[in-house]
Structure formats: structure tokens, C-alpha cells
Amino acid sequence: MEKKPFVTKEQLEEIAKTYPTPFYLYDEKGIRENALKLKEAFSWNKGFREYFAVKATPNPFILKILQELGCGTDCSSKTELLMSDACGFSGHDIMFSSNDTPPEEFKLAYDLGAIINLDDFTHIECLEKTIGTIPETICCRFNPGGLFKVATDIMDNPGDAKYGMTEAQITEAYKILKAKGAKNFGIHAFLASNTVTNEYYPILAKILFELAVKLKKETGADIKFINLSGGIGIPYRPDQEPNDIKVIGESVRKVYEEVLVPAGMGDVAIFTELGRFMLAPYGALVTRAIHEKHTYKEYIGVDACAVNLMRPAMYGAYHHITVMGKENEPCDHKYDVTGSLCENNDKFAIDRMLPKIDKGDLLFIHDAGAHGFAMGYNYNGKLKSAELLLKEDGSVQMIRRAETPKDYFATFDFCDILKNVKNV
């Protein structure tokens, strides 16, 4: 089985005439179609809303596309809040889900009217001290502890995660928040990352729905929404079966009707905070082979590096690679595909079977649309690439220019030491 790029070699060569490699390319048509599928899958819930995880792809052009489709934003920092505000998201369009939160960020979130999601019991005092009150609408993040399993498979270890409150803490938090004036409550949890199974969301939903019923009974809190957060993954490998969002939505509906409706809570809104599912398959890193090396292994050196996409270097993540124009050729060459950083883990693929790669070939690195560009950095003085949008009409729009040396040296603008650096 082979992953198919959303663009042709001819298109990429034409794009590269204007925008040199490496660059990120996003598929507007795919983004829109996927967002509408998610919306349809949860259309049974009157209050459903997707709060896109800005951290995954923090680009205002992407946010504006999702805004047109009714999405809000999930922010976790000051700059993400500022970007959301600049894009026209306001009030409850914004969910602020942060941890170890600086007080000034609570203040900004409150000033923007965002829904604040408290990660820890002690943050109640911090929030009240910072803004002088408790918002009428407030959310708390839950961590059930232990291991999270789907059937017999361990998906993740919430008990070892720094996020969320215990059940006892969230119960006490609701009581205190209610006494301090909160009127509308939400519950949030994130128990596993990048799950490629239709069972994750329904199991998570059952845990949170049952907790909601219990919290309402024990605290009298009016629970308005339950935020299933992220965690729905994508098939990075071509032999993986993708999640079926329609099946997932229907399964959550069944649990909703089994647990919440009999408890008189059939008006609770369902929120999601998806990033990877929303964007990853619809973005790619496009890079060109510039060197080949023959030593103890066969290496292909490309003009991108871990600065552009660090997931493989950071935790050995698999990203499928298509050698453009050679999709039908046999994968009979074993390569390490590398960047130029002074780190041996700067590799996009290790011992990967690919068609013979020649210098000048374009490589399409799949599923980089989320947590790709966003995780970039500037080690070795490397500069971040441009981001481009392949629009529905086939045209290409630059949605972020490539960095220049001037950008790299910008934080030295307070002194004259580097004033003569040439911006080439």
C-alpha cells in the first residue's frame, strides 16, 4: 500500500521555481473536507464545536479557513491567544487549556473572554488572585490516573502525566468554584495521544460522562459541556487503517444516550480539540535531494533538516516519503535520508526502502501538517522554511515566508555588534 501525495511532481517543480525548497505545502481542499466530516459526525449534538489545537499548526491563514467552518481555537500560551484574537476569534470562540500557567496568561485569557480550563486544583487560587474573581463559565481538567487501555492494549499512562486533577480534587474544585460564583461548568481530559482506533473517543467519553453525572449529583454544578480534547490520530504508516470519524461520532452518541440522557443531562455540549486529525494528512514537507553518500550505509542528503521537521529526530516518528515521479518504481534501495545538522539523529528515515534517488529529486514527506513546522527551531543557525497553501482552485499562496538571516539576528537589534550582517 502506498500513500498518494495531494500534488503532482509537475506542480511541485512549478512551485519550486518561485519558492525554493524546502517548504511546507498544505492542501486547502483536504482541510475543508475533513473539517466538514468531523462536523457531520457530531451533528447529533446541538452544541458540538471543534476547538482547533493552535499548537499543531499556528498559522493565521489556516485558522481563518477553520473559522469559516465554525471552529474555535484551543490555545495554551500567550502568543496563541494573541494570534486567535488577531484572527477574529473572541469570547467563547477560544478555549484556554494550559498547564503550569503564568498568571499573566490567565489575565489575557480572561480579558479576551476565553473559556479557561484549569489544569490543577491550586490554579483556582492563582486565577482568583490574578483576575480578582472567578469567571461564570469555567472548566476543569481531569486525570483518572493509572493506565489507559483499549481492550487489552495499553494506550498511555495518565497516572504518569503532569496534566489534570484527581477525581477528589475536581470534585472539591467544583464545590469551591461554585461557591465563588461560577455558574457554568465544563470537564476536559486527554488520556492518550495519536490513537489509531475508533474505540478511544467512546471509552474516554464514557469515563467523562459518568464523572459528569457524579459531579452534578455531588456538587450541584450545572455542567454545560464536556471536552473530549484531542487524541484521535492518523495512520502515519501506509499499512495502518485510518480512523473513521463517522463511526467515532456515532459511538460517542450511543454512550451519550446511555449515560447522560437518563441522568437528565441531554443538553450537554460536546467539544473537541483536535490538531493532528484536522491537519496532519493535509500538510507535507517538500525537500530536494542534494547529496548522496556511500560509506557504511547509503545516505541521501536533502536540503531540509530536523529544524523543519523534528518528529523523526525527537522520538523516531515514522513519516512516509514519496520520491516524486518515481511512485511506480520498485523500492529496491535502502537509504538513510538525512539533513545537515551536526546531530546524528537528524534523519527523516533510517534504513528505508525507496526507489533509487538521484540528486535533484523532490521528496514529499507526508503527514507533516500538524506538529511539523510548529516544532521547528534554529539549531546550527538553520532557518525555518516557507509555508504555502495549495488552494482549491489549484493556485498556490504563500502563508508564511521563509526566514532570513535578518530574522535570525533580530533579537540582537538592541546592539550594534551584528548591524553589518548581510541579509542573503
The CA distances from residue 175 to 170, 171, 185, in Å, are: 9, 7, 11
pLDDT tens digits, residue range 41-64? 999 999 999 999 999 999 999 999
Q: Please compute the mean of the pLDDT values over residues 228-242 and round it to a whole number.
A: 94
Same domain, 22 and 51: no
- 196 and 263 housed in the same domain: yes
Q: Are residues 10 and 43 in the same domain?
A: no
Residue 298 lies in a domain: no
On whether residue 99 sits in a domain, the answer given is yes
Domain harbouring 250, CATH code: 3.20.20.10
What pLDDT, on the 0 to 100 scale, is given for residue 154?
47
b/e 166-181 (16+ beta carbons within 10 angstroms → b): eeebbbebbebbbeee
Query: Looking at the domain assignment, is residue 94 inside a domain?
Result: yes
> Beta strand pairing status for 148-150 and 137-141?
unpaired
Tens digits of per-residue pLDDT, 74-128?
999 999 999 999 999 999 999 999 999 999 999 999 999 999 999 999 999 999 9
Q: Please report the pLDDT score of residue 417 as a whole number.
A: 84
In this structure, the chain runs to a length of 424
Average pLDDT over residues 1-12: 93
User: Which residue is it, cell 454544578?
Assistant: 221
How far, in Å, CA of 32 to CA of 4, rounded? Answer: 18
Pairing type for strands 283-294 and 298-302 reads antiparallel
Domain boundary among 247, 280, 313: 280
Instruction: State whether 16 and 35 are in the same domain.
Output: no
Name the pTM for this structure: 0.95
72 closest CA partner among 114, 30, 40, 101: 114
